[in-house]
Amino acid sequence: MDDGNRFDIVNEIITESRKKDITRFISTHPDDDHIRGLRYLDEKINILNFYCVKNDATKTDESEDFEKYCELRDSDKAFYLYKGCKRKWLNMNDEDDGKNYGLSGINFIWPITDNSDYKDALENAKNGESPNNISPIFTYSLEDGVTAMWMGDIENTFLDKIKDEIDWEEIYILFAPHHGRESGKVPTSILNELKPKLIVIGEAPSDDLNYYNDYNTITQNTAGDIVFECESSKVHIYVSNENYNVSFLKDERKPNTYGKYIGTLDV
């Protein structure tokens, strides 16, 4: 977020979360472009559950948002992420409290905290180097619906080192790591296991991007904001750029409820 958009973004979060008892903030890693506006967000909504990997990342030039990250990371609001971690309402039910919230369908398949390459990444972040490779890998799954995967800013060379440590299962949507940059290109051997029907390429200078030419893609540089309306067996997709189109989605003639409707992905 920045001064130009943070008011609208945070007001939307406040509106959408009204009358809901559970909120969580998942931080993949403390790069400035992933935590910018964190102090403002916390001031406005009071983050109660802060999800991150356990780390001691430092920076030589600490922004107020990095200071807020460290404050939340080291507080009793933090929940530390690792492969297979379980928590009530994240991916565990609690049938004894009288409030059946169900599950959020969020599961973590990385990090394996005793992996030597991961330990090296933690040490590098502690010494003020890039925290990209401390990013967790996780999925969101809807019963009888979509499975989407995020990898933060994990880099290609790191993924290549750890690929045999992870059980890769098929997904529908992959948010390309490192904003879709060439430096975060997912190795072909992993893509062959994931078999994504759609890869979302984030915002980055176009010269830095890998466009995953053998896959269906949406590129945020041109699509703008993207909304995924997830239902049983399908995902309706909307973008903020009224001139953006793709040819691989099914047209179900949905109204432009969340921006321009560009089509539906069957899952």
Under 8 Å between Cβ of 2 and 121: no
Nearest to 52 by CA among 22, 85, 21: 85
pLDDT given at position 211? 96
Which residues contact residue 36 at a Cβ distance below 8 angstroms, ignoring those fewer than 6 apart?
1, 2, 63, 65
Distance (Å, rounded) from C-alpha 20 to C-alpha 22?
A: 6
pLDDT given at position 102? 76
Under 8 Å between Cβ of 188 and 210: no
pLDDT given at position 28? 98
Locate tokens 């030589």: which residue?
A: 60
**Which two three-digit tokens encode residue 11?**
């007001």
Q: Where are the domains of the chain?
A: 83-266
**Which two three-digit tokens encode residue 86?**
């379980």
Under 8 Å between Cβ of 194 and 168: yes
pTM for this predicted structure: 0.94
Q: What is the pLDDT along the chain (267 residues), one digit of tens a residue?
A: 889 999 999 999 999 888 887 788 999 999 999 999 999 999 999 999 999 999 999 999 999 999 999 999 999 999 999 999 999 889 988 766 566 667 899 999 999 999 999 999 999 999 999 999 999 999 999 999 999 999 999 999 999 999 999 999 999 999 999 999 999 999 999 999 999 999 999 999 999 999 999 999 999 999 999 999 999 999 999 999 999 999 999 999 999 999 999 999 999
